[in-house]
Structure 1
Amino acid sequence: MTHGEPVCTTRQGAVRGRLNGSGVSAFLGIPYAAAHPFAPPVGPEPWQGVRDASAYGPTAPKVPYAPPFDALIPEDSIPGGDGEHGKDGEQDRDFLNLNVWTPSPGPGSRLPVLVWLHGGAFANGSGSASAYNGSAFARDGVVCVTLNYRLGAEGFLHLDGVPDNRGLLDQIAALEWVQDNIEAFGGDPDRVTVFGESAGAMSIGVLLTMARSHGLFRRAILQSGAAHHFLRPESARLITARLAEKLAVADPTHEAFAALPPPELLRAQAELRAEIGARPDPALWGEAALNMMPFEPVTDGLRLPAPECGVELLVGSNREEYRLFLVPTERLDVLSERKLRATAAAYGLDPDKALPVYRETRPDAVPGEIFDAVATDWFYRIPAIRLAEAVPGSYMYEFARRSPRFDGRLGACHGSELAFVFDNLHDPAYAPMIGDGPRQEVADAMHGAWVAFATTGDPGWAPYDAAGSRTTMVFDEESGPVADPRAQERALWDGVR
């Protein structure tokens, strides 16, 4: 300690953090790798003396969320990694950094570790949003790590001559840093749990099958994302070609994209996603026509981890995920029956057989509400179930607490569980989504389950047995396990998704 400030020593050098009033030490903005444009990450440069780690580091280049999502989804942008240039004319590239919260800085404690991968459709988000403050995990005896990784084209655009999935390679580099350094912060490198939401969870779904990630984490928690969202190489090439056309890049090489002014590249990325939404034609966009994400992990097909993958899993989704994209945009009440039927068919269902099953438990629902149920299953719930089925002994959850926002219509939408997972209910960033007066008991149950799983591998309920009860913990105003929720709707997707 120096003047009451905690100091820990990494393999690159010493860092000085800050101590908050509850006895938690935070070390912020620590570089875990260096990012050269469109190249794999390399190890960070060592430093002399004690590096100040009392403030968040720069965030990865991105554009803000478009309205109305900019007011709903926690986000921040810290200058330095967003295309600004330093006095030497070189672009500032120091956004591959991470943050550590610990109750016991220094070696010897061997506490469980949680490493957070943020969401944002692979184009937004950061590990430094106040919503992801890890103090509550540290308070409860877990070392918490959050991080930034490359987004958009730089992280995920398919280009000849450079590796795919550079954003995932960044995540692996951060997990390697954790293995090398977390003991110095009181953590146990043999008890690392990686957890993530949306794109972060989808990243974990791919990491589970990548040889390079083997041994870097013992457990994984996947929130509202699993292994079903990816682009095959042929689809990824369609995205690359259209982005190059928009930017007047005649030869779409990594050198050509790296030479573009970062703001210009970011603007084109945002326009590209809008184009896909306006004309979701699979002939133009491949898999991205269904999930509206032009930047995703590139793989040759669906890969689920082997039953003996060696990683313990907790996986789940929110009951009304897709309402986030329907209610604030005022699409819920105007979405037509024709659009509902076309989407169900595009997802592989027979509308005449499937839609009556969804309506059976929602007899007064308008087409938009049925659309939410179908899209929530296709995007989130069924992929989570398939992952749990693939790895015996996995645990399943569902978040069902309905937000009072938008006159109660926002529901248990995408992202609405985050405040409860982080036990951070009073952060103003969450208020537009979760509303006023969220019950602490819901956070106690959900946050407590995450802590228990990271600590022991048992979140507190029975594993998901695909041949038996399919036990699912439902987090709501009153939480408890449920056997095979909405079984008839789940069965519609057998052989389809």
Structure 2
Amino acid sequence: MSERPCGVEAAFRTTSGRVRGREAGDGITAVLGIPYAAAPFGARRFREPRPAAAWDGIRDCTAFGPISPQSAELPGSPVWHPGDEDILTVNVWAPEHADGGALPVFFWIHGGAYTFGSSAQPDFDGTVLARAGLVVVSCNYRVGFEGFGHVPGFPDNRGLLDQAAALRWVQDNVSAFGGDPGNVTVAGHSAGGGSVVCLMGMEQTRGLFRRAIAHSVPHAFYTVELATAVTERIAAEAGVAPTAHGLLSVPPQALVAASDKAAARCGTEPVTPVHAFDPVIFQPVVDGEVLPADPLRMLASGAAREVDLLVCHTLEEYWFLHAVGAVREVTTEAELADFADALALPAHLVDGYRALMPGAPVLDRYLALFSDAQFGEYTTRLAEHHARAGGRAHLARFARRREGARPWHTADIPFAFGNLDAVGADFLIGSAPDAHDHALSRRMLLSWAAFAATGDPGWPALTPDTTPVKSWAVPKDHLTADGTSGLRALWHDVRFDLLRPAQATRPRSRGLSGA
């Protein structure tokens, strides 16, 4: 239940104690940095999340909590400092509503290559979305080695287990903020979208949400063998054995530094051939326990057919990653052939993109292929497999273009959150927003809200035989039948389970010593 003592901000009663937030404007109360689990350090490091300790009195929750260990410094966002340990927190934006009925809940998982990011990024502020009639919740979780590094004898996918614990917190507590625990939508972007589709097939989250929104889902996961090879590289950079004892002896800040060094070395000594082009070294691990199978296979099996799914990707995902220097540049036909070989792409795909993009530079064809292999086609396949397995699925693509602005990775999120004026959003969306952009943002935000409330975002669901696609664009959107796409025809017989190499490569000369 909530309390509103005279002269102070709203107080809410959670299972751990009472909390007080701050007014965020227009009847929205933001309650930030609420612990949902105990600090995952000391004796709890590399273990599954444990319950948060209770407190007496009213806890002041007017500022975001500390973020997970990482080296990233993002615009307008907090940074991690050694000694910050109480990192497993949630934030709630709770609207006042006159009828007193329970509102749909929108639960957001941030992205960041499973390596960085936090719920405090300005474009993730839940105020505008809450005004649409949702209780908005976001969470911090362990990223990088703390959350996704393989440690012998400890659970894999600790970041996913953190997210599951935060969803259990929602079940136990969101009614105090006016939310309906029986109508929860889990949503995320990039690594957050990848997390969403992993959560859909995990036993630990069964019954914790009824709908899912996943934007720009990466085709990214490891076998245990690959995760072990990554740990070996990072342990070598840290100067310890790749054992539980060795890794526990390395402070979080040193493990972050060792992980950054291992990622930087991937350009010349990749753990898998793909790392030579995109050195993201942390991914969910298909361990058979926390994550029973890769998400595409789980959805195809009907493991989550009771969950409504909305997926979206941008038309030019990798142009953003190239712009920020996160991927290797490819400018010659020989380099493009090496890239295709690294991803095990069939030759007809390279030829087909050349035919469909006549006169385009090699770099553009490379980025287009990479975008579709890692995000676009994979995201679309998830929706199609879910529909064919008996689930309800909707598909959208972000196609907004303006002079100097591409529909690239991350550009869609400030639009859907209604945060076009947030710090850093101008770079993400590629230009200052105009009236058409604000109108598009409103349409996207309302589609999220409608889907969270009813399961219907405003356009037809996929069927086993048809793939209708909503294209978000300016000045107006359009609906197409995906079967008419030349690109989709190229991918028709390509099997994603054959695209990623199953074996780790081994360093050529420097070994695992880091010398």
TM-score (norm 1): 0.89
Tell me the residue number matched to 1:88: none
Q: 1:332: how far off?
A: 9.6
Three-state SS of the structure 1 residue aligned to 2:266 is: helix
Three-state SS of the structure 1 residue aligned to 2:470 is: strand
For structure 2, list consecutive stretches of 5 or more residues without a partner in the other structure: 288-292, 497-515
Distance 1:13 1:255 in 2: 36
Letter in 1 for 2:77: D
Distance 2:355 2:92 in 1: 48
Q: 1:480: how far off?
A: 1.9
Distance 2:193 2:325 in 1: 25
Aligned pairs, how many? Answer: 470
- Alpha carbons 1:114, 1:142 under 8 Å: kept: yes
Residues 1:330 and 1:274: Cα distance change in structure 2 (over 3 Å): closer
Distance 2:70 2:232 in 1: 21
Q: 1:216: how far off?
A: 0.7
Pick one of 180, 185, 200 that aligns with 1:208.
200
Distance 1:287 1:331 in 2: 10
Tell me the residue number matched to 2:141: 149
Residues 1:260 and 1:114: Cα distance change in structure 2 (over 3 Å): same
Tell me the residue number matched to 2:450: 452
Q: 1:11: how far off?
A: 0.6
Tell me the residue number matched to 1:355: 350
More deviation in 258-267 or 228-237?
258-267
Distance 1:314 1:103 in 2: 24
Three-state SS of the structure 1 residue aligned to 2:419 is: coil
Q: 1:475: how far off?
A: 0.4
Q: 1:325: how far off?
A: 2.1
Letter in 1 for 2:283: E
Residues 1:102 and 1:330: Cα distance change in structure 2 (over 3 Å): closer
Letter in 1 for 2:186: V
Q: 1:272: how far off?
A: 1.1
Q: 1:328: how far off?
A: 4.6
Residues 1:474 and 1:416: Cα distance change in structure 2 (over 3 Å): same
Q: 1:51: how far off?
A: 0.5
Identity %: 38
Distance 1:177 1:43 in 2: 9
Tell me the residue number matched to 2:225: 234
Show structure 1 runs of 4+ deviating over 6 A.
Answer: 330-334
Letter in 2 for 1:210: M
Distance 1:385 1:325 in 2: 20
Tell me the residue number matched to 2:363: 368
For structure 1, list consecutive stretches of 5 or more residues without a partner in the other structure: 85-91
Pick one of 420, 427, 431 that aligns with 1:432.
427
Pick one of 211, 236, 253 that aligns with 2:243.
253
Distance 2:109 2:99 in 1: 25
Does 1:244 pair with 2:244? no
- Alpha carbons 2:201, 2:303 under 8 Å: kept: no
TM-score (norm 2): 0.86
Distance 2:209 2:37 in 1: 18
Does 1:481 pair with 2:479? yes
Three-state SS of the structure 1 residue aligned to 2:495 is: coil
Q: 1:457: how far off?
A: 0.2
Tell me the residue number matched to 1:276: 266
Q: 1:257: how far off?
A: 1.9
Q: 1:77: how far off?
A: 2.5
Three-state SS of the structure 2 residue aligned to 1:482 is: strand
Residues 1:289 and 1:210: Cα distance change in structure 2 (over 3 Å): farther
- Alpha carbons 2:340, 2:346 under 8 Å: kept: yes
CA RMSD of aligned residues (A): 2.3
- Alpha carbons 1:231, 1:288 under 8 Å: kept: no
Letter in 2 for 1:244: A
Mapping 1:194-343, distance limit 5 Å: 194-225=186-217, 228-250=219-241, 252-280=242-270, 284-285=271-272, 292-300=279-287, 302=294, 303-305=297-299, 306-307=301-302, 309=304, 310-329=306-325, 335-343=331-339
Q: 1:108: how far off?
A: 4.8
Residues 1:403 and 1:102: Cα distance change in structure 2 (over 3 Å): farther
Letter in 2 for 1:457: G
Residues 1:496 and 1:339: Cα distance change in structure 2 (over 3 Å): farther
Structure 1 residues 196-215: Cα deviation after superposition (integer angstroms, max 9, x where no partner) = 00000111121111111111
- Alpha carbons 2:30, 2:93 under 8 Å: kept: yes
Residues 1:426 and 1:456: Cα distance change in structure 2 (over 3 Å): same
